[in-house]
Amino acid sequence: MNLEFDEQQITEIFYRWYNGEKVSSLLEELEVEKIPNCSLAKHFPPIALETPCRNCGENLYAFRSNPPHFKKTNALYDISTAHCLNCEHVESETCQCTGCIEILKERNKLIAQHEQERLQKRGIQLENLFNEITPIDSDNIEIEKLIYLYSLCLQSTCEDVCLISPLSASEAPFTPSTEGQRECIMSLLDYIAPLCEDEELLQFNNNGHATWEGDQVSYRIKTGDTNHLDYLEGLLKAIKDRLKRANIEEMSRFIALCERLMICECIDYLRFQRESYHLPHEVGAKTTALFKKLIYNLRTDQIYSVIWRSCREATAYKVKNGLPKHHASNLIISSIDSYVDKATQKNWEIRSYYRDSSKRQSTLSRVIFNKILELDGHGVEHTLQDVITKINSLNKIEKSEESGAQIDMRETSLETESIIK
């Protein structure tokens, strides 16, 4: 409904309205039925703008300003109400005129096209990653890598044997620490290709080079067609066969892997205990060397009890003597060492602790201790000496004729860089 006044009257009405006169009294005087303040401007003819409509080219029109808008902009019309009288277009993102609906349709079509192109490109990039990996040949791959691959497949919840589910989706940790997990994955990059739809988790740069979150993506491997259980059994058998036939160098590598895993369990428990006492956790050569020495004769779960004891004592000492945290934290290492020395001299029996319920046995530990070595327990109930004896006995089955192939305890264990920290 447009109110019929001439331009002079309209100017006067708006002038009075802007000057604070009440709409109700104005309307009464003009003998017009009641109209709410907010829509009063819409009841007067709109003002023609110089801007043409983007759909049909006719001039746009805008309604006159209401008092707040006039105060703010000093403009006689409100540009946000611009509209076309010819094609019903309004200057708004949500305009539903025929022209705008057509434009929106075109835009959506273009977006869909881009999205399809993007997905196609990503599919090709992911496929390229897969094409670059080497099929797994269990006879010609380093024994450690074969063990890591078997562990990955064992941990995976995918039915498809060629697809490994993200490590983060599993209840059990892959290795005792996340650093170790990352290094296992890094060592397998020739054999596993990451796969993930989420562009945040797996990104490609302009050269098609991928970076990803190691434990949050899936991985693909190249295997023959076979079902999951058969494949897992085949891998385990291959590992055991390799150990039966292993030469000294290969056995030493396997022992070194067991040794690193056991050291890693100790360091991880040390971290756990230090954190529970709010002490800083730093691992240097001294700590690693200490655990390397202790695991030979002590079960990991015995070392747990010594760590627990030393953390408790160092904390008590810190409180009593007002020591800084890092000092107390360093004390733990010498305290563990001296307690074990004392226990050995005095023939004390060192108690053994269970794994803490929050620190589940890792898949790699389960594979090595329970699956390959067929030992009981949760990977912490054995000394390295027990492990070496077991490895020798497995190797002996095939090598009973060649006594020279036996590993003479720990002297030959390789000093390789720690893969599992």
Contact footprint for Zn ion (CB under 5 A): 53, 55-56, 84, 86-87, 89, 95, 97, 100
**Nearer of residues 79 and 248 to Zn ion, judged by Cβ:** 79
Question: Least distance in Å: CB of 48 to Zn ion?
Answer: 13
Q: Is 396 exposed, middle or buried (0-12, 13-18, 19+ CB in 10 A)?
A: middle
**Nearer of residues 88 and 337 to Zn ion, judged by Cβ:** 88
Question: Least distance in Å: CB of 97 to Zn ion?
Answer: 3
**Nearer of residues 51 and 178 to Zn ion, judged by Cβ:** 51
Question: Least distance in Å: CB of 159 to Zn ion?
Answer: 52
**Nearer of residues 54 and 182 to Zn ion, judged by Cβ:** 54
Question: Least distance in Å: CB of 107 to Zn ion?
Answer: 13
**Nearer of residues 41 and 97 to Zn ion, judged by Cβ:** 97
Question: Least distance in Å: CB of 93 to Zn ion?
Answer: 10
**Nearer of residues 109 and 326 to Zn ion, judged by Cβ:** 109
Question: Least distance in Å: CB of 51 to Zn ion?
Answer: 11
Question: Least distance in Å: CB of 90 to Zn ion?
Answer: 6
Question: Least distance in Å: CB of 101 to Zn ion?
Answer: 8
Quote the Cα angle for 253-219-121, to 5°.
135
**Nearer of residues 95 and 331 to Zn ion, judged by Cβ:** 95
**Nearer of residues 46 and 173 to Zn ion, judged by Cβ:** 46
